[in-house]
Amino acid sequence: MAGDFRGPPPAGGRPPQGEPPRGGRPARPGSPGWTNQPRNPLPGHGGRPLPPPSPPQQPPGAPPSRGGRGPLRKPPPGRAAGAPPPTRAAAPPRGPVMPRPAGSGAGGAGAGVHPASQAPRDGRVTRGPSMPDWRRVRRATRGRWKAVLILLLVAFVGFGVYLDQNMTRVQALPADSQASSSGTNYLIVGSDSREGLSAEDEERLATGDAAGQRTDTIMLLHTGSSGSVLVSIPRDSYLPIPGNGSNKVNAAFAFGGPELLVETVEAATGLRIDHYVEVGFGGFVGAVDAVGGVDMCVPRAIDDPKAGLDIQAGCQELDGTTALGYVRTRATPGSDFDRVQRQREFLAALLGRATSPLTLINPFRMVPLASAMTGTITVDDSDHIWNLAGLAWGMKGVSGGDGVQTTVPIGGSAGGSNLRWDRTRAQALFGALQNDQAPPESSFGP
């Protein structure tokens, strides 16, 4: 055995020239039993077979080893003991090779050491396709939603600014008003203004050819802690007009415009007017058409050529042109009292339709409605688009049954078509509103 030892291998751990590899991997230098004796030659290599090398010496009591690489294992089934291992050409194809980490090469720290879950039979580490970075995807999705929300917010604010600038403004509220009250009071005026109407529109809407500008509708909306109260003021109400004696209330508008009308109403009711809103013929028709019409139940058939109205009794949907004639006509037994009642009912129904979810979430209805309303209404210099939102919600409360609709109580005639208020009941009505209280039913008019 001592004669078979040929000394240590050359530097680098490579076996001497001519020695076949053992299992495709040389033994480590200095391992017990290292030898340069060749094994039995493979078939077809010629030459006389060499005798097998003598087994290395083992310490007493140690289990038999194989070239210092652990205990001997039984050959796998189907291969005789001492038969050469299969060549690399017979090995099955392998998957992609995992790059070795630094220091894991031959002789490096951790060489040949791999987790059990990543160590296939051939000793090489493979890895499947990398998992997607869900955190990066989540961050990207969140960023896109933020961008969309910012764009929507900018569009909403920009549209609000456009609507606010689209309104016509006048000096309507007196700067030296002495009236005071709780809650919020809106004066709503429907004028016979033909501004923006062509000759064909005037003929179609039967606006007439009256000179000047008058008010066909005057309503007072009070909102506060006791709910909403909508009060109609008949245009033939005979009231003192500051600086002009006593006359019909709509004459105040003809004499001094919106500001004189506000002064007249404040003096008659004792309420401070906080907001002024005026709607002309064109704005009214455009608003009704923008919401797709308004459903109304007509109690009786009306045929009024002066108002351009020919309508049958029953519940039906009114378009803009028909609705204008419906709120203007006086061709009914109750004349002006019937008209103010129709005006209250229709305005409440219109604003209720305008503030319905189906309208608010539908841009094809909301945008034309808002543009038509703001483009044809007149407000005070201090009013803005959010004040109109408060008006709409107050009217929605009235139409929803949570508020009160009434007319100023009338005590009799002042000659001709002039109407005198019932002062006692009128004071009870407006006194309750002045203190932001629910008015008594005894103060309600027709």
pLDDT at 345 exceeding the cut of 50: yes
Contact 206/331 with Cβ under 8 angstroms? no
Q: What percent of the chain has pLDDT over 70?
A: 67
In a domain? residue 160 = no
| Residue 309: per-residue pLDDT | 92
In a domain? residue 86 = no
In a domain? residue 230 = yes
In a domain? residue 66 = no
Q: Domain range for residue 327?
A: 169-443
In a domain? residue 411 = yes
In a domain? residue 34 = no
In a domain? residue 12 = no
Residues 56-80 as b or e (16 or more Cβ within 10 Å = b): beeeeeeeebebeeeeeeeeeeeee
CATH number of 224's domain: 3.40.630.190
pLDDT at 45 exceeding the cut of 50: no
Query: Could you tell me the pLDDT band of residue 178, with boundaries at 50, 70 and 90?
Result: confident
Residue 439, number of CB atoms within 10 A of its CB = 20
Which residue would you say has higher pLDDT here, 203 or 165?
A: 165
Query: For the whole prediction, is pTM greater than 0.85?
Result: no
Per-residue pLDDT of 109-163, as tens digits, reads 444 444 544 445 555 555 555 555 777 777 778 888 888 889 988 988 888 898 8
Contact 263/174 with Cβ under 8 angstroms? yes
Question: Which residues lie below 8 Å from residue 413, measured CB to CB, with a gap of 6+?
Answer: 419, 420
Domain count, the chain: 1
| Residue 125: per-residue pLDDT | 52
Per-residue pLDDT of 218-264, as tens digits, reads 999 999 988 899 999 999 999 999 999 999 999 999 899 999 999 99
In a domain? residue 82 = no
How far, in Å, CA of 252 to CA of 235, rounded?
A: 10
